[in-house]
Amino acid sequence: MGLMTLDVPEASAGYSHYGVLARFETAKALYRACEAVRDAGYSKWDALTPFPVHGLEKAMGLKPSKLPFLVLATGLSGAGLGFALQSWVHIQGYPLIISGKPLFTWPAFVPVTFELGVLGAALGAVLGMFAFNKLPTYHHPLFRSKNFTRVTDDGLFIAIEAWDPKYDDRDTAEFLSGLGAVEVEHVPIDDPADDSDGGGAA
Partner 1 sequence: MAQSQDNTQEPVAGRAPLIVGGYDFRSLTEAVAVPVERKTPIGWWFFFLPSLAMLGLFGVSIGWLFWEGTGIWGLNNPVNWGFAIVNFVFWVGIGHAGTLISAILFLFRQKWRTSINRAAEAMTIFAVMCALVFPGIHVGRVWVAYWMFPLPNQMDMWPNFRSPLIWDVFAVSIYGTVSLMFWYVGLIPDLATIRDRAKTRIKQIAYGIFALGWRGSHRNWLHYERAYLMLAGLATPLVLSVHSVVSMDFATAQLPGWHTTIFPPYFVAGAIFSGFAMVMTLMLICRVLFEMEDIITMRHLENMAKIMLLTGCMVGYAYGIEMFIAWYSGNPYEQFAFANRALGPYAWAYWIMVSCNVLTPQLFWFKKMRNHIGWLFISSILINIGMWFERFVIVTSSLHRDFLPANWDYYQATFWDFASLIGSFGLFFTMFCLFARFLPLVATAEVKTVLPEADPHQGEELVRVVPAGAGTEPAPQAAPAGGGGS
Residues 33-72 that bind partner 1 (CB under 8 A): 46-57, 59-60, 62, 64-65, 67-68, 71
Q: Please list every residue from 77 through 106 that binds partner 1, using CB under 8 A.
A: 85-86, 89-90, 93-94, 96, 98, 101, 105
> In the complex, what is the shortest distance from the CB of residue 84 to partner 1, in angstroms, rounded to a whole number?
12
Q: Looking at this protein, which amino acid is placed at residue 148?
A: F
Q: Looking at this protein, which amino acid is placed at residue 174?
A: E
| 15 is a site residue for partner 1 (CB under 8 A) | no
Cα distances (angstroms) measured from residue 85 to each of 88, 98, 100, 104: 5, 18, 22, 12
Contact 159, 117 (CB under 8 A): no
| 6 is a site residue for partner 1 (CB under 8 A) | no
> In the complex, what is the shortest distance from the CB of residue 129 to partner 1, in angstroms, rounded to a whole number?
4
Name the residue nearer to partner 1 (CB basis): 36 or 129: 129
List the one residue from 11, 26, 40, 169 that touches partner 1 (CB under 8 A).
Answer: 26
Task: Convert 86-119 to b/e letters by CB count within 10 Å (16 or more is b).
Answer: bbeebeeeeeeeeeeeeeeeeeebeeebeebbee
Q: What are phi and psi of 24, to 5 degrees?
A: -115, 155
| 125 is a site residue for partner 1 (CB under 8 A) | yes
